[in-house]
Structure 1
Amino acid sequence: MLSRRTLLPALVLIGAALTGCARDRAPAVDYTLLNGQKASSQQWAGKVMLVNFWATSCATCVKEMPQIVATHQKFKARGLDTLAVAMSYDPPAFVSKFAETRGLPFGVAIDNTGSVAQAFGPVQMTPTTFLINKRGEIVKRYVGEPDFAALHGLIEQLLAEA
């Protein structure tokens, strides 16, 4: 038989899951963009963030990048920001060349030490994409290419939140 001591925490967890309140906060991370600018996840406050971990050697990452760009372009004026985080094993020259030739319109960071990927999970497979709401909570984690129609619907909802 369940005691109050074990039943109450279980009910709290179930209630939180049903109401969507049990969301993990995005980790506090510092990173450097390709242009040398230092940045931090603290700058994400009040924005909906799409954080995409990728590598130039990842075929799915390369295939999905035009859709990541299109998503960014579609929603940036309404408060979406995007960060592409290149994995630590990706040669910086390859990342820089990819970003330049593809005209990536958002921040690109090289995670030289792997600390950003570690803070997010750790992230071990690419692509892995996180959608973060205006309160800094991770709403969705995608491993592999997302269903972009569903992603756009979720972004719409998050942008509409106060």
Structure 2
Amino acid sequence: MKAVKVMGVTILASSISIGAAIFGQRWIEESPMLERLVEHGPDQLRTLPDFHLMDVQDREVASNAWAGKILVLNFWATWCTSCIDEMPMFIRAQEALREDGVQFVGIAADKAQDVREFLVDHPVSYPLLIADAEVIHMSKRLGNRLEVLPFTVIFDRRGRRVYSQIGGMTAEELRVELKPLLPESTKL
């Protein structure tokens, strides 16, 4: 008789545990509040932050300079091989999509002089800005939780963050992310 009671209690306890686990998982998956906390964290930026950085000619540029455009921010450095590898693709995309309101902007985690020297052998057709400590922290809040380079963030025309990627991007990944933001007539 004891064995039957032990078996019954074990089955009951197992059923309660499994039921609680299933209910808890569904509750977490369906809770928008918890989803926001888990997926984005309390300090995550969902829109283009207001920032002012110096370009390679030592002119201050504000983030609102590209208001109303699809903005592709790429955090990079002259010493980052993966960063340099994806730059020709960004240059081609900038040239092809400029008329459709797409703006690429590179934010270099370098000294301005290093970037100027880099540009001698590697011309770039989009603006390059020089990062400061605040903007490095901003990249983390935009999704660069590992604080690595390259890191790319895409904002729609209303300044909403729609995509971020740690590591190098491929042309196909860029195409997939930009396509829904562009007019249907745009060929990618």
With structure 1 as the length reference, what TM-score do the two structures score? 0.79
Q: How does 1:1-162 map to 2 (within 5 A)?
A: 11-13=31-33, 24-87=46-109, 90-111=110-131, 113-122=132-141, 123=144, 124-160=147-183
> What CA deviation, in whole Å up to 9, does each residue of 1:108-160 have, x standing for no partner?
1111x322121232542000011111010111111111132131232122123
1:101 shift after superposition: 2.4
Aligned residue identity for 1:151: L
Specify the structure having the higher radius of gyration (Cα).
2
Aligned residue identity for 2:135: V
Q: Is the 8 A contact 1:54 1:126 kept in 2?
A: yes
Residue 19 of structure 1 corresponds to none
CA separation of 1:115/1:14 partners in 2, compared to 1, >3 Å: closer, same or farther?
closer
CA separation of 1:109/1:15 partners in 2, compared to 1, >3 Å: closer, same or farther?
closer
Tell me the SS of whatever aligns to 2:72.
Answer: strand
> What CA deviation, in whole Å up to 9, does each residue of 1:78-103 have, x standing for no partner?
1001110011xx23222112223222
CA separation of 1:73/1:51 partners in 2, compared to 1, >3 Å: closer, same or farther?
same
CA separation of 1:34/1:12 partners in 2, compared to 1, >3 Å: closer, same or farther?
same
Once superposed, what is the RMSD of the aligned Cα atoms? Answer: 2.7
Aligned-partner Cα distance in 1 for 2:158–2:183: 13
Aligned residue identity for 2:133: G
> What CA deviation, in whole Å up to 9, does each residue of 1:32-79 have, x standing for no partner?
111222211112221000100001111111111111111211211110
Instruction: Give the gaps of 5 or more residues in structure 1.
Output: 17-22
Determine what percentage of the aligned residue pairs are the same residue: 23
Q: Is the 8 A contact 1:26 1:120 kept in 2?
A: no
Q: Is the 8 A contact 1:27 1:120 kept in 2?
A: no
Instruction: Give the gaps of 5 or more residues in structure 2.
Output: 1-19, 37-44
Structure richer in helix, relative to its length:
2
